Structure 1
Amino acid sequence: MQLAKQLFHTKDLDYVIRSAEIQDAEQLEKVRLQIDGETENMDRERGEAYLDAAAFERLIEEDAKSDRNLFLVAEANGQIAGFSRCEGSPLKRTAHQVEFGVGVLKQYWGHRIGRKLLESSIEWADGQGIRKMSLKVLASNEKAIELYKQCGFKVEGTLKMDKRLADGNYYDTVVMGRIPKL
């Protein structure tokens, strides 16, 4: 699915939220790799489940054709600062829901880019008649959990000892969902 560009200004930063385009693929390859290395809040370590530019091109093409997928990028100063993706299922029993994921480069934290990517995704999902958005977040990422709650997500459960981080300790993952009011 494709969305129109949205312009934002916060903390002396102008940025655009828009649908990912084929020409973003090379930059997305680098940005995803960098984000994975900047925080342990992601599912992957840097280099794991690596997607090259060709894989991003395929993903962008597929998502643009689907009414159940949405791939957004945040662009600041001519560069991709972050991205988000909603992925739906072709299965009839789960076609009413999408899973949301987001990543923002550390240098852009604090500019509300993650929030705006989330809000744009929620607006899209509600407009598509999607009945549920879900996501997973490390229990230790309290800031993100609070943001998700502010945007209507509720805790649905906790996956105990779900991730093992660089410190060698195991961490819980919180499963959250948002069901719009009709």
Structure 2
Amino acid sequence: MRVNQKKFYKNKVYYIIRSAIEQDAKTLSKVRAEIDGETENLDREKGEDYIDEEGFKKIIKEDTERINNLFLVAEVNRRIVGFSRCEGNNLKRLSHKVDFGVGVLKEYWGYGIGRNLLQESVCWADSNEIKKMALNVIEANDKAVELYKKFGFEVEGILKKDKFLSDGNYYNTIVMGRLGPPMSHWVGT
């Protein structure tokens, strides 16, 4: 699905958030690999689970066509510096929810880009009757956990010793979820 682009300004940096388009595929491939190499907050190390230009073209096409998917990019001076994705599921029993993920180049941390990608995704989910947004975050990423809580995400569980990082230690993964607009047929709550 596509959304209208929005403009933002923080700390003397203008940026836009918009839906990903096919022409972004090559850049997204590079940016994703770069982000993976800049932080251990994500599941992948640089080069792991690499998605090439054609792979991103396919993802963008599918996300544009599917009503329960959203792929956003953040641009500074026409340069993609971050992205987020809400991925829904075609299975009927899971069709009410999306999995959320976000990444921003380290050079652009502190400008509210991740926050605004999250905010735009939450607004989209609520306006499209997505009943649940789910995400995983490493326990060491305190800032992200607090941000998600501000947007209504709650801790749903802990995956113990789920990640092994370069410092030689294991870290827990926090499973978080956010329930969207009220559902008329909630069962089991």
Q: CA RMSD in A?
A: 0.6
The superposition leaves residues 32-72 of structure 1 with CA deviations (integer Å, 9 ceiling, x where unpaired) of: 00000000001100000000011000000010000010000
Q: For residue 127 of structure 1, what is the aligned residue in structure 2?
A: 127
1:141-180 correspondence to structure 2 within 5 Å: 141-180=141-180
How many residues matched? 182
Question: What letter corresponds to residue 173 of structure 1 in structure 2?
Answer: T
Q: For residue 89 of structure 1, what is the aligned residue in structure 2?
A: 89
Give 5+ residue unaligned stretches, structure 2: 183-189
Query: Shift in Å at residue 118 of structure 1?
Result: 0.3
- After TM superposition, the score normalised by the length of structure 1 is 0.99
- Tell whether the 8 Å contact from 2:25 to 2:56 is kept in structure 1 after alignment: yes
- Secondary structure of the corresponding residue to residue 73 of structure 1: strand
Q: For residue 7 of structure 1, what is the aligned residue in structure 2?
A: 7
- After TM superposition, the score normalised by the length of structure 2 is 0.95
Structure 2 CA distance for aligned equivalents of residues 166 and 77 of structure 1: 34
1:37-48 correspondence to structure 2 within 5 Å: 37-48=37-48
Structure 2 CA distance for aligned equivalents of residues 173 and 86 of structure 1: 19
Structure 2 CA distance for aligned equivalents of residues 159 and 90 of structure 1: 25
Q: For residue 187 of structure 2, what is the aligned residue in structure 1?
A: none
Query: Shift in Å at residue 181 of structure 1?
Result: 4.3
Q: For residue 18 of structure 1, what is the aligned residue in structure 2?
A: 18
Q: For residue 111 of structure 2, what is the aligned residue in structure 1?
A: 111
Query: Shift in Å at residue 180 of structure 1?
Result: 2.2
Query: Shift in Å at residue 78 of structure 1?
Result: 1.2
